[in-house]
Structure 1
């Protein structure tokens, strides 16, 4: 009987100890802190840009059209010509003369043969100013809404960067000839200064300045996240706890985003907030 009593007492002690351990662990998990990285909201200049790719084309091109039989052809592709230089003559007495100085880039006629280039949708002779280039862009729908004439741009090609600006934007889009179809809007970016050792036909990367805000309150983009209503939020750190804050955002650069409302200068925000972070979570900074 005594052994039974002692056994029951020992079993009770084990159960009480297990319950106490569970309660102790459960209580400590509630007080666990989450390690975070943070950054400070601060005033800065923020510039939003659009990066796209275009094609280098001659700044000026002249298409010469003829008709009849060609009696004399004085140029070939690659020849440099001067303004008013006679390039070809026809049996009708018609002459094709250069209206500008440049380089002959196409010759679609032959001496002693009838000029059929117009019927083929081509010019008889094409002259281009290859010394002065510009960049032809084909903008998508979303890009077209952001790009406007006179915006500054940086053109990157041939291992060099050149300053320029948007000088033309088409009023309507045209159907794309790509496999995916769709439509694109044409725009042109010109160089501030004549580029060296660039060639028409090659591609060029273009970074266009869309907008700039001076002395704006901004945070790193990685501090921004969204709630289940797709509203922009951040987690602000105060007294070792986080507080979920809805914010109103503005323009953004590749690293920072402007905060229009919701935060004050000097506020500490969580970077790349983890999924287990909740409003009121206790945190410690790494």
Structure 2
């Protein structure tokens, strides 16, 4: 139905020119006539053809006849539209001598009911623990023991590599280590003997020097002989100082020890490589991807993918990103309802178990930050699988017994928020604070000592004319 647009100049006349405002009855008659004419032009089928026929023959139905042909619902809608328009125009004209005209309003009865505030997010589903199994050993895979979907345990052998070259390399490394150890041992032995002889020579040279000093003082030997004894003592000291001494024994220098250490490191590496020729799982879980096969080299998987991907699917999680504008409402322990296409309309429960202490960029050129958050999904018999995207509705807060109104019923004047109620055909604004936000509906709590009573008539779409004390007419509910 098309709403008729009133032209104010057609209704309000200049009283100074001897004209007056149309009466309410005249206004309604005119608008009903226009509405019916519009409806008549919009109808189709046989009825439309019949009316056109009458129009051509000059037998246009009267207003009364057309009104009788309307359904009850159509009559109510027509009258509501006309009354609303008429009331508005008459109020603009000042109402003549009849006083203020009541503003038509739609209302609802204020009742207590449950309401929930939820936050909808989405993210990928994954296992609680996962690992990519790779190998840096250049050896051919000769055995694959598992396939996708197999459950595995920690240290279970997944695949076996060709050990021929690895065993040879290990033997070479073992020989190099053994040789380094032998060389050090022999050097330790020779150095110990050399150091022992050098200390004996030093003691002898020291004794000779002491005896010659006494003889020289008595004039029994020449100065040349005295100098020879001193030189022999200095040579003996230099010999002793040239040895590497460990715990009072001569020992091989640090280079021999370094050779042994390097050989030991290489030997350990070769042992580890041989051990890793049996590729094992590091966690309990399920093999979700196998990216190689028998005959391929373990370190040359296509596109640098892992040989195996394993996840613990016994406990699933959702990784979601929550806006910085909403994270203040989210807390560890809040519940969530999980849904996904794979569930065929069913849902599963979840719980927030972790919120990152730092945010990150949302991406896509946005300056907004998001906070990674983890939801643990309850139950092990769910149809959910890892690798899909699911939707989660996080329950922020709820109230089981709240006064609830549509958000369109709120009035915000910049300083406070109100709802408008009808009492004895007049408007009364009640200040409120907002509680649980249910998106379409919201919990309202009376403020400033005000009170609510169940059954109060709350105006659904208050406008600028619904001020305190304004006269109103409650329209019938459809």
Asked if TM exceeds 0.5, the reply is: yes
Q: Measure the CA separation in 2 of the matches of 1:81 and 1:23.
A: 86
Go from structure 1 to structure 2 and tell me whether the alpha carbon gap of 1:16 and 1:256 turns closer, same or farther (over 3 Å shift): closer
102, 106, 121: which one aligns with 1:33? 102
The answer to whether the Cα contact below 8 Å between 2:427 and 2:471 also exists between their aligned partners in 1 is yes
- Normalising by structure 2, what TM-score? 0.49
Go from structure 1 to structure 2 and tell me whether the alpha carbon gap of 1:44 and 1:197 turns closer, same or farther (over 3 Å shift): closer
Q: CA deviation at 1:65?
A: 4.2
The answer to whether the Cα contact below 8 Å between 2:140 and 2:298 also exists between their aligned partners in 1 is no
Matched, 1:246 2:431: yes
Go from structure 1 to structure 2 and tell me whether the alpha carbon gap of 1:16 and 1:181 turns closer, same or farther (over 3 Å shift): closer
Go from structure 1 to structure 2 and tell me whether the alpha carbon gap of 1:105 and 1:67 turns closer, same or farther (over 3 Å shift): same
Matched, 1:271 2:460: yes
Go from structure 1 to structure 2 and tell me whether the alpha carbon gap of 1:46 and 1:258 turns closer, same or farther (over 3 Å shift): farther
Matched, 1:234 2:419: yes
The answer to whether the Cα contact below 8 Å between 2:446 and 2:452 also exists between their aligned partners in 1 is no
Structure 1 gaps, min length 5: 1-14
277, 280, 288: which one aligns with 1:104? 288
The answer to whether the Cα contact below 8 Å between 2:319 and 2:372 also exists between their aligned partners in 1 is yes
* 2:445 paired residue number: 259
Structure 2 gaps, min length 5: 1-14, 24-92, 167-272
The answer to whether the Cα contact below 8 Å between 2:434 and 2:442 also exists between their aligned partners in 1 is no
Q: CA deviation at 1:193?
A: 1.7
Q: Output one character per residue of 1:80-120: Cα deviation in whole Å (capped at 9) or x when no partner.
A: 14213212345421133122131232537985536268xx6
Aligned residues between the structures? 268
Q: Measure the CA separation in 2 of the matches of 1:33 and 1:115.
A: 85
SS in 2 for 1:222: helix
Matched, 1:282 2:350: no
The answer to whether the Cα contact below 8 Å between 1:70 and 1:110 also exists between their aligned partners in 2 is no
Q: CA deviation at 1:272?
A: 1.4
Q: CA deviation at 1:206?
A: 1.0
The answer to whether the Cα contact below 8 Å between 2:157 and 2:279 also exists between their aligned partners in 1 is yes
Q: CA deviation at 1:242?
A: 0.7
Which deviates further from its counterpart, 63-72 or 140-149?
A: 63-72
Go from structure 1 to structure 2 and tell me whether the alpha carbon gap of 1:232 and 1:70 turns closer, same or farther (over 3 Å shift): farther
* 1:147 paired residue number: 330
Q: Output one character per residue of 1:127-174: Cα deviation in whole Å (capped at 9) or x when no partner.
A: 023454322211111222211111111111132211222122212112
The answer to whether the Cα contact below 8 Å between 1:46 and 1:216 also exists between their aligned partners in 2 is yes
Bigger fraction of residues in strand: 1
The answer to whether the Cα contact below 8 Å between 1:37 and 1:270 also exists between their aligned partners in 2 is yes
SS in 2 for 1:115: coil
* 2:297 paired residue number: 113
* 2:31 paired residue number: none
Q: Measure the CA separation in 1 of the matches of 2:99 and 2:121.
A: 50
- Normalising by structure 1, what TM-score? 0.78
The answer to whether the Cα contact below 8 Å between 2:134 and 2:299 also exists between their aligned partners in 1 is no
Matched, 1:56 2:242: no
Q: Measure the CA separation in 2 of the matches of 1:219 and 1:264.
A: 15
Go from structure 1 to structure 2 and tell me whether the alpha carbon gap of 1:184 and 1:31 turns closer, same or farther (over 3 Å shift): same
The answer to whether the Cα contact below 8 Å between 1:55 and 1:136 also exists between their aligned partners in 2 is yes
Q: Measure the CA separation in 2 of the matches of 1:37 and 1:226.
A: 19
Q: Measure the CA separation in 1 of the matches of 2:147 and 2:416.
A: 60
Q: Output one character per residue of 1:9-57: Cα deviation in whole Å (capped at 9) or x when no partner.
A: xxxxxx89936x3598633475211111122333333321111222222
Q: CA deviation at 1:273?
A: 1.2
Q: Output one character per residue of 1:42-78: Cα deviation in whole Å (capped at 9) or x when no partner.
A: 3333321111222222233123343222333525762
RMSD of aligned Cα (Å): 3.2
Q: CA deviation at 1:209?
A: 0.8
Which deviates further from its counterpart, 177-186 or 78-87?
A: 177-186
Q: Measure the CA separation in 2 of the matches of 1:177 and 1:76.
A: 39
Go from structure 1 to structure 2 and tell me whether the alpha carbon gap of 1:216 and 1:104 turns closer, same or farther (over 3 Å shift): closer
